[in-house]
């Protein structure tokens, strides 16, 4: 029977996905109404793809949190010790934060691009092209 566990994507793979979108070379054409509308459609497509990647990154971060939560619960119930669990909990929390760090950087990049796209879309919407 196949495993139901989702395989997490590594942050480097997310960076490759973002780079493959070729955002850096995106051309904004707004000299006439048709070009502006085509640019808006392309921005919408790009925005949807970035949101999809963002959902996946967030899902991976939740999976990491769940992994450490389950580990923390197993160790504390297995040991049955209250006084040593706080140091173990801190250790697990530190590992979780360290593992999630690269994913947070990817989220930062995605959010930056999404904010830029929103600003550009607003700019194009405010143009008086008829």
DSSP conformational letter for 127: S
Confirm whether 4 is domain-assigned. no
Output the pLDDT for position 44. Answer: 96
Confirm whether 34 is domain-assigned. yes
Confirm whether 87 is domain-assigned. yes
Confirm whether 1 is domain-assigned. no
> Are the C-beta atoms of 117 and 46 separated by less than 8 Å?
yes
- Tokens representing 76 are 């504390």
Confirm whether 77 is domain-assigned. yes
Output the pLDDT for position 84. Answer: 60
- Whether this model's pTM surpasses 0.75: yes
Burial of 18 (0-12, 13-18, 19+ CB in 10 A): middle
Number of domains in the chain: 1
**Per-run averaged pLDDT (10 residues), the chain, 130 residues:** 62 96 91 91 96 97 88 60 66 87 97 96 81
Beta strands in 18-96 (DSSP E): none
Total Cβ atoms within 10 A of residue 19:
10
Output the pLDDT for position 4. Answer: 38
Output the pLDDT for position 1. Answer: 32
Closest CA to 108 of 9, 15, 32: 15
Give ∠ CA 96-101-103 in degrees, rounded to 5: 105
Confirm whether 31 is domain-assigned. yes
pLDDT tens for 57-80 read 999 999 999 888 877 676 555 555
Output the pLDDT for position 6. Answer: 62
- Tell me the residue range of the domain where 47 lies: 11-126
Output the pLDDT for position 2. Answer: 39
């Amino acid at each position: 029977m196949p495993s139901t566990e989702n395989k997490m994507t590594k942050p480097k793979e997310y960076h490759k996905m973002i780079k493959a979108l070729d955002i850096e070379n995106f051309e904004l054409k707004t000299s006439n109404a048709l070009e502006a509308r085509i640019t808006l459609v392309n921005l919408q497509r790009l925005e949807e793809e970035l949101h999809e990647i963002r959902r996946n990154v967030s899902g991976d971060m939740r999976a990491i949190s769940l992994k450490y939560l389950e580990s923390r619960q197993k160790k504390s119930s297995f040991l049955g010790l209250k006084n040593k669990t706080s140091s173990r909990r801190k250790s697990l929390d530190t590992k979780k934060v360290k593992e999630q760090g690269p994913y947070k950087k990817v989220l930062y990049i995605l959010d930056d691009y999404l904010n830029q796209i929103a600003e550009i879309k607003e700019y194009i919407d405010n143009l008086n092209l008829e």
